[in-house]
């Protein structure tokens, strides 16, 4: 099971990274449950996977609308990214230095 870190504010969640550093494929969920409440994951945080050397594939959930600056910068092993249908904004240098 992939353990994630998320920041929750105003009934929405932001994916800030993974506690499982050995995972090569990361799936950013559509929503997370915390304390009995369900929160839509609407963004990937700034620097969330910056300099990550392990991930090769990322699947972004359908509720994510924003991938922030440098979210995947220098993730040198990253080869495949599947974006959810609602991604409308990709920040500066979000994928700089990755193979994608």
pLDDT of residue 89: 98
pLDDT of residue 3: 43
How far is it, in rounded angstroms, from Cα 94 to Cα 68?
A: 7
pLDDT of residue 90: 97
Give the pTM. 0.86
**Widest distance between CA atoms in the chain:** 39
Q: Which single residue is written with the structure tokens 């991938």? A: 67
In total, the chain counts a number of residues equal to: 100
pLDDT of residue 20: 67
Residues lower than pLDDT 70 in the chain: 1-10, 20-21, 100
pLDDT of residue 21: 65
């Amino acid at each position: 099971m992939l353990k994630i870190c998320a920041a929750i504010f105003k009934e929405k969640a932001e994916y800030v990274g993974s506690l499982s550093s050995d995972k090569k494929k990361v799936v950013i969920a559509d929503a997370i449950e915390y304390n009995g409440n369900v929160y839509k994951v609407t963004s990937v945080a700034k620097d969330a996977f910056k300099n990550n050397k392990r991930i090769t594939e990322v699947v972004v959930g359908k509720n994510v609308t924003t991938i922030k600056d440098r979210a995947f910068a220098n993730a040198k092993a990253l080869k495949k990214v599947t974006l959810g249908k609602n991604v409308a904004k990709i920040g500066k240098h979000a994928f700089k230095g990755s193979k994608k």
